[in-house]
């Protein structure tokens, strides 16, 4: 128990160090928020006029998908940050300090989670400006954001494994883009899955990002009786499915990340 508490305390110190870096290099958070803002404006005003969602405003349908895509892409910062620290020898400096080995990973994933919170706040304001509204209660809306952030936190641990394995920020960026870009588009993020071809439709319906997006829509009250969710378990029970996906990813990748970290610092 004491070791766990110490790891959390050391992780908080590392998280603070990472957040101070963002404060000193504000470009990191600026460019992290510009991309989703551009997506909101592009889909809302350009593609939105050509996409019809029965019974609801497309901008309200859109925002949950943009949120989900953004927090998942934001989680990739964990991999690039760790790879950069490995490349610059900062991890070696941490190794010489009397701190828990898992503290670096806890601090990195926690700071990136907080960065995602900032991005979500900026995006929420942008969404409200373009016409998005929350039609549920305050607690349900908080739960919607919480589900997305939990999933993003789980993805961060997966990206930590990649960042520690390749040790190059450029490779992490390329590898994560190749995987995450199709995952966020072959889903219900921007359009419904009903009209997708058979194999893509099945993939989209069982895609965890679809579950997270649907969970956010339901918790924000951005659904319509005229556009029901497909009759598959993850989209009929999206909140439970999203939490289960997150817990499974955490259960798999936290041990893998710690193992990969020990392997990386012993080279």
Hey, CA dihedral for 26, 27, 29, 34, is it positive or negative?
positive
**153-156 own/partner pairs: CB under 8 Å, 24+ apart:** 153/75, 153/109, 153/113, 153/246, 153/250, 154/245, 154/246, 154/247, 154/249, 154/250, 154/253, 155/72, 155/75, 155/76, 155/249, 156/75, 156/78, 156/108, 156/109, 156/112, 156/113
Residue 4 is predicted with a pLDDT of 67
Residue 160 is predicted with a pLDDT of 92
CB 91 within 8 Å of CB 14: no
Residue 2 is predicted with a pLDDT of 58
Helix (H, G, I), strand (E, B) or coil at 89: coil
Q: Which of 149, 160, 14, 151 is nearest to 78 (CA)?
A: 160
pTM recorded for the entire structure: 0.90
Q: How many Å apart are CA 137 and CA 20, to the nearest integer? A: 34
Residue 257 is predicted with a pLDDT of 93
Alpha carbons within 13 angstroms on the beta-carbon side of residue 165 total 14
Total domains, the chain: 1
Residue 166 is predicted with a pLDDT of 83
Q: What is the pLDDT along the chain (267 residues), one digit of tens a residue?
A: 555 666 777 778 777 777 777 666 666 677 777 877 887 888 778 777 777 778 788 888 889 999 999 899 888 888 888 888 888 777 777 777 777 777 888 888 998 898 889 889 988 988 898 888 999 999 999 999 999 999 999 999 999 999 888 878 888 888 888 888 889 999 999 888 887 888 999 999 999 999 999 999 999 999 888 787 788 999 999 999 999 999 999 999 999 998 998 887 776
9-29 burial, b for 16+ CB within 10 Å, e for fewer?
ebbeebbeebbeebeeeeeee
Q: Which of 237, 34, 30 is nearest to 147 (CA)?
A: 237
Domain that holds residue 133: 3-263
């Amino acid at each position: 128990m004491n070791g766990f508490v110490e790891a959390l305390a050391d992780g908080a110190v590392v998280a603070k160090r990472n957040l101070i870096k963002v404060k000193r290099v504000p470009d990191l958070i600026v460019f992290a928020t510009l991309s989703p803002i551009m997506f909101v404006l592009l889909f809302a005003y350009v593609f939105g006029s050509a996409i019809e969602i029965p019974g609801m405003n497309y901008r309200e349908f859109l925002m949950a998908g943009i949120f989900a895509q953004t927090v998942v892409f934001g989680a990739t910062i964990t991999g690039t940050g760790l790879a950069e620290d490995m490349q610059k020898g900062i991890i070696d400096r941490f190794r010489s300090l009397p701190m828990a080995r898992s503290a670096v990973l806890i601090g990195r994933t926690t700071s990136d989670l907080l960065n995602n919170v900032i991005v979500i706040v900026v995006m929420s304001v942008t969404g409200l400006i373009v016409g998005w509204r929350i039609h549920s209660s305050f607690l349900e809306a908080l739960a919607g954001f919480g589900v997305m952030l939990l999933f993003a936190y789980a993805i961060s641990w997966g990206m930590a494994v990649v960042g520690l394995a390749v040790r190059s920020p450029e490779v992490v960026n390329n590898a994560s883009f190749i995987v995450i870009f199709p995952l966020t588009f072959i889903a219900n993020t921007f359009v419904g899955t009903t009209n997708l071809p058979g194999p893509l439709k099945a993939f989209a319906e069982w895609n965890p990002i679809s579950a997270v997006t649907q969970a956010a829509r339901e918790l924000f009250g951005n659904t319509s009786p005229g556009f029901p969710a497909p009759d598959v378990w993850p989209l009929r029970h999206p909140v439970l499915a999203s939490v289960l996906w997150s817990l499974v990813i955490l259960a798999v990748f936290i041990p893998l990340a710690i193992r990969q970290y020990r392997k990386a610092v012993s080279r």
